[in-house]
Structure 1
């Protein structure tokens, strides 16, 4: 049996004195897409941030590609380079004059530190290829402060593409996009998933998208209420258990 790409074991996380995530355990198999769903305040983003080491955990263990996340939230650099994170909102100082190509190049530069013999020609080619693959080559010289929401998402996907990744973690990455842009984002994401053999863990409120695309679902409301394939996990009874008696399904016409 193959080692899971990500294994979370009895993870408990507090936000100050508030218990946000309680004894959560799950594992991701290579090449699968797993969605975390649940009501607002259920601990979804907290769980993601604890897995990434952004937030400290009270107890439990996180293993990425078989390597444990340290208590200080660190992974070996060789492992961290195989992981990419797309947040709900990409926050940056708009006074920084950085172009789309320069942002994508930051991902390559981390490789360059490991491969000092790789020259600038290879770097430029990798950046161009990544931007071209997400139909954003025309944005190369545009400042990121001037990008639309959909353009920024494409550039961030190019950042993920500029070097090989095995695990992609998204925290409501399409948030803020209109229906058409969100549909375009998911179409491109799943094309890239199959091309790159990415394993995906994503927080989503779009239950229709989860049913259509995801292999597994984690229903979270502080603790894991259920997990499994969408057909079973997103049953009416399970959704009521996770969301309460009043739950809302987000439906989009793509």
Structure 2
């Protein structure tokens, strides 16, 4: 199996805070679902921005789908933690999706059907609930036909039923479209159920591997340095 993502000794950050990411080395295989975990301020969102080419590392190497992040950007789908927009702006869901995928074809119809947003198409984008908006955002990301899908805490503010639907969708796109997925999550039950690989960061890479090996009491005490719920128990 080839690798969708390779980072070797990556250092990155922002003006005034250069060391947000420190010596990150990791590999992600194509067609896998990878969960990125870590405390607040650990650099998870920064890592996604590095992968998309919006932040350039000042040290280290990164290859995305065998190319530079900038070259691969067209094949990367992204669902942000918070999608900020003017809710009074007069645009329907259908018009919003057309910005990413103009016209109507079989693939667009397939995505709309699987995401379950057909009834939402004529509605104003600003009228949607949190769960509805997240489904529209994942549809927009999938309409790019991405080979790599980045999800930054995508169910933040979504109700439990919306969460369940969202994770079922992600799993569908992984298996049916062979999309490689990297998802930021704080929900350990979800990580345990869906992840092929867990990646733990706190500025630097703390651990990576299958959930059965990585999700241990020792890992969480090292990563979070506080009481954490693991397998329904506090550690």
Q: TM-score, normalised by structure 2?
A: 0.91
* Aligned residue number for residue 164 of structure 2: 183
Which secondary structure does the structure 1 equivalent of 2:101 belong to? helix
CA contact under 8 A between 1:61 and 1:68: conserved in structure 2? no
Between the two proteins, the alignment pairs up a number of residues equal to 231
Mapped to 1, the partners of 2:68 and 2:40 lie a distance apart of 29
* Aligned residue number for residue 76 of structure 2: 83
Mapped to 1, the partners of 2:188 and 2:227 lie a distance apart of 11
What is the CA distance between 1:250 and its match in structure 2?
7.8
Runs of 4+, deviation exceeding 4 Å = none
Say if 2:20 is the partner of 1:20. yes
Question: CA 1:195–1:22 in 2, change beyond 3 Å: closer, same or farther?
Answer: same
Mapped to 2, the partners of 1:204 and 1:23 lie a distance apart of 22
Matches within 5 A, 1:200-215: 200-215=181-196
Structure 2 unaligned regions, length at least 5: none
Identify which range, 232-241 or 9-18, moves more after superposition.
Answer: 9-18
Which secondary structure does the structure 1 equivalent of 2:100 belong to? helix
CA contact under 8 A between 1:9 and 1:26: conserved in structure 2? yes
Which secondary structure does the structure 1 equivalent of 2:50 belong to? helix
* Aligned residue number for residue 217 of structure 1: 198
Matches within 5 A, 1:87-236: 87-109=80-102, 120=103, 123=104, 126-236=107-217
What is the CA distance between 1:148 and its match in structure 2?
0.7
CA contact under 8 A between 2:33 and 2:197: conserved in structure 1? yes
CA contact under 8 A between 1:4 and 1:30: conserved in structure 2? yes
Question: CA 1:48–1:108 in 2, change beyond 3 Å: closer, same or farther?
Answer: same
CA contact under 8 A between 1:3 and 1:65: conserved in structure 2? no
* Aligned residue number for residue 57 of structure 1: 57
* Aligned residue number for residue 248 of structure 1: 228
Mapped to 2, the partners of 1:107 and 1:251 lie a distance apart of 40
Which secondary structure does the structure 2 equivalent of 1:67 belong to? coil
What is the CA distance between 1:161 and its match in structure 2?
2.9
What is the CA distance between 1:147 and its match in structure 2?
0.7
Which secondary structure does the structure 2 equivalent of 1:129 belong to? helix
CA RMSD of aligned residues (A): 1.9
Say if 2:66 is the partner of 1:66. yes
What is the CA distance between 1:166 and its match in structure 2?
1.0
What is the CA distance between 1:57 and its match in structure 2?
2.2
Give the strand-richer structure, 1 or 2. 2
